[in-house]
Structure 1
Amino acid sequence: MLELAIIFLILLFGSFIQGVSGFGFGLIAMSFLPLMFTVKESTLLVVSLALVLSVSIAWQLFKHIEWRSLVVILSAALVGRVGGFFILHHFGELDILQVFLGVFLICVVVYLFKSKPPKPDTKVNGTWLPIVLGLAGGLIGGVFAVGGPFFVFYFLLLFHHNKYSYSANLQVTFVATAVMTVTLHGVNGDFSLGFLGYFAVGLVSVLIGSRLGVALFAKLSQQNIKKIAAIVVAIAAANLMVTALL
C-alpha cells in the first residue's frame, strides 16, 4: 500500500505540472519511478499514462490545435519512436540506462534554468528544425518517456504569442507518439498483468492532477512552476545516477 501511495503522489505531481505548463509529467515521473522499477517498466507505465493525460488536456484545449503546424515534427517524431522502441525492447532492463537517464535529466534542468522566452520577431524554420527536434524527441521519448523538451522548444518558438495553442499542439504530439509506443510494445508482449494494477492507480492520479493543473493554467506563473519542477528533477536525477552506480 505504501508503494502504491508513493506512486500515486509522484504521478499526481507530474500530471499537475503538465496541466499547468504543458509538459513535465514524464520528467517528474521518470525522475523517481526507476528507483522502484526498471527503466523499461517505468517508461511503459509513464508513456501509457501520458497518453491518457495528454488526451485529457488536448480535449480541453481542442479548439486551439493548429493541425498544419504538426505535420513535419510529428512525422519525424513517429520515426524516432520506432527507434526508441527497439532500444527499450532490447536494452530496457540494463542499469546503465538509468545513468543515461540521469545525465539527460540534468541537461534538461540546465536548459529549463537558462532558457529565455523567444523574441516576438523570431522566425521559425519549418523544415530541418522540426525534423531534427522531432527525431530527437521521438527517440528519447521512446526510450525514457522524457522527449517533451524537444517539442516544447519548437512549439514555444512557434506559439510564443498564444500559450493555449502552444499547449494544445504539444499535447497532440504527445498523444500520437504515445499511441505509437504503446502499440509497438503491446504487439511485442512487453506489458505484464502486474502492469494493470499500477496503471489503474496512475489513471486516477493523472486525471485528478491534470484537471487541477488545467484549472490553474491561467492563474499560476508557468516560469515559477517550471523552476520548482526543475529543482525536483535535478535532485532525483542525481539520486538516480548515484543509485545506479553503487
Structure 2
Amino acid sequence: MGLIRILFILVFALVFVGAFLQSISGIGTGLVVVSVLPLFMTVKDTTLLILTILIFGGLTAAIKYYRYIEWKKIAEFLIYVLIGRLVAFFILTTYGELDVIKVWLGGFLFLVALYQLLLPRFSKKETTRKYPNRLVSFTLGILAGIVGGLFGIGGIFVATFFIMLYPNQRFSYIVSIQVSAIISSIFSISLHAANGDIEASLLAYLIVGIIAVILGTVVGFKSLDKTKPQTIKRNLLILILIASLNLMLFS
C-alpha cells in the first residue's frame, strides 16, 4: 500500500473519529485531527484541512438552529475573530511549513487537553458568570482568531465567550459557535486560496475529509444513546496529551 493511500486512510479515520466524538461528547474535531496529522503533513496543510471540515461540520447545526442567531450580539466578537485570523494568515504563510511551528502546536495542544481534563473540577467550583465586556470580547476574539487560524483549534476561546454570553440559552450558544466557525473558516480559506496555498494535491484530502466529517457526525448522532461520552472523552484527551508531547519532542 502506497504512502499516499495510507495518508488518505489516516485523514479519513481521524476526521471520522473526530466528528463522531464531536457529536457525542462535544470535543472538537480539530483537536483530534491536529494531534496526529502534523506528524505526516505540514501544519499549514493540516490547518487548511481542519478549516474546511469545520465549515461543512458547522453548516448542519447552523441551518437547524438558524432562528436562534442574534447577529447584533455576536457581530463585534466576529470582527475580532477575523482580525485574529488575518494575523494568523501571515504567520502561517511564513512559518507554516517549518518544523518549529509543530513544537508550538504541541505545547498549545498539551495545555488545551490538560485544561479539558481538569475542566470538570473547575466547573464545580464556579458560582457566577459575568456578561463579557468589550475587553473580554476583544481578548477572546483575537485569541480565537489567531489560534484557530494557525492550528484550527481556537474553539476553546469561542466557547468561553459564548457560554458567558448565553449561560442559559443552549441553542443560541450552539449556533453562535457554529456560525463563528463557518464565517472565520471561510475567511481564512479565502485568504489562503487567494495566496495560492491550496495546491491541487491537497484538494483530494479535502474531499476525503468532507465525506468523513459528514459520515462521522451521522454515526455519532445515531450512537448517542449507546455510548458513555465522558469516558470516551477522557481517554481520548489522555491520548492527545501523549501525541502533543510527541510533537514537541520529536518535531
TM-score normalised to structure 2 length: 0.88
Aligned residues: 244
The aligned residue for residue 136 of structure 1 is 143
Is the Cα contact below 8 Å between 2:132 and 2:161 reproduced in 1? no
Amino acid at match of 1:8: F
The aligned residue for residue 11 of structure 2 is 7
The aligned residue for residue 186 of structure 2 is 179
Distance 1:182 1:35, change over 3 A: same
Amino acid at match of 2:105: L
Is the Cα contact below 8 Å between 2:68 and 2:172 reproduced in 1? yes
How far residue 57 of structure 1 moved from its aligned partner, in angstroms, is 2.8
Distance in 2 (CA, whole Å) between partners of 1:132 and 1:177 is 16
Which of 114, 123, 136 is the aligned partner of 1:117? Answer: 123
How far residue 19 of structure 1 moved from its aligned partner, in angstroms, is 2.6
How far residue 232 of structure 1 moved from its aligned partner, in angstroms, is 2.7
Deviates more, 1:221-230 or 1:195-204: 221-230
Secondary structure of the equivalent of 1:140? helix
Distance in 1 (CA, whole Å) between partners of 2:26 and 2:103 is 26
1:25 aligns with 2:29: yes
Distance in 2 (CA, whole Å) between partners of 1:48 and 1:110 is 26
Is the Cα contact below 8 Å between 1:19 and 1:57 reproduced in 2? no
The aligned residue for residue 100 of structure 1 is 104
Distance in 2 (CA, whole Å) between partners of 1:28 and 1:181 is 20
Amino acid at match of 2:90: F
The aligned residue for residue 78 of structure 1 is 82
Is the Cα contact below 8 Å between 1:120 and 1:160 reproduced in 2? no
Secondary structure of the equivalent of 2:217? helix
How far residue 215 of structure 1 moved from its aligned partner, in angstroms, is 5.1
The aligned residue for residue 241 of structure 1 is 248
TM-score normalised to structure 1 length: 0.90
Aligned pairs for 1:58-73 (under 5 A) are 58-73=62-77
Which of 157, 179, 193 is the aligned partner of 2:200? Answer: 193
Distance in 1 (CA, whole Å) between partners of 2:134 and 2:224 is 31
Secondary structure of the equivalent of 1:161? coil
- Identity of matched residues, %: 33
Secondary structure of the equivalent of 2:153? coil
The aligned residue for residue 216 of structure 2 is 209
Distance in 2 (CA, whole Å) between partners of 1:121 and 1:214 is 32
Is the Cα contact below 8 Å between 1:17 and 1:229 reproduced in 2? no
Runs of 4+ off more than 3 Å: 20-23, 116-121, 212-226
How far residue 212 of structure 1 moved from its aligned partner, in angstroms, is 3.2
Root-mean-square deviation (Å): 2.2
Amino acid at match of 2:60: S
